[in-house]
Amino acid sequence: MKSIKFSAPPTHDQGSHVGTASASNGETLAASALWDYNSARAHDGLPPLSRMPAGTVYHHPARPYYVQRADGRNMETVDEFETRKEALAMLAEYRLGDPSARYYLSRRPCRGWNDETPAPATFATNGGTYKAARGGKRAPLNLAHAEA
């Protein structure tokens, strides 16, 4: 469910109004904002409007910037920033600190960046390579043999 904040300017019969609109089950964000605004008008005893007043501002959330690291066949999201300026500054630091990989900016993170459950990991043992299943189930490791 997507939600945004909006602010309606003052009109001749009502002061300014700040509210939150959420889209769900066929209702658009604009319809939800109008419903919220008309609810405030009804509370003051005013008739409902058929559209939002001129000058209404919808505050969409900013999409973050992600620093991605790629080397060979592997790719991962390394960091997340709210502003492009911050992301570019840290991108230069990452490139300076690890010249063996390619670093770049993206507006989308890699799969599993925001998940509670980590993406499947591959790890090697003395008997071959095993892939961890989603949900944390892993093949047993023979650590005594690996350390020897």
Domain ranges of the chain: 2-59, 65-106, 115-148
More confident residue, 111 or 147: 111
- 44 torsion bin: left (phi>0), alpha (psi -120 to 50), beta (else): alpha
Q: Is residue 51 predicted with pLDDT exceeding 80?
A: yes
The model scores a pTM over 0.95: no
Q: Is residue 135 predicted with pLDDT exceeding 50?
A: no
Spatial CA neighbour of 31 closest among 9, 13, 6, 54:
6
- pLDDT at res. 35: 93
- pLDDT at res. 72: 85
10 Å CB burial of residue 91 (0-12, 13-18, 19+) is buried
More confident residue, 139 or 16: 16
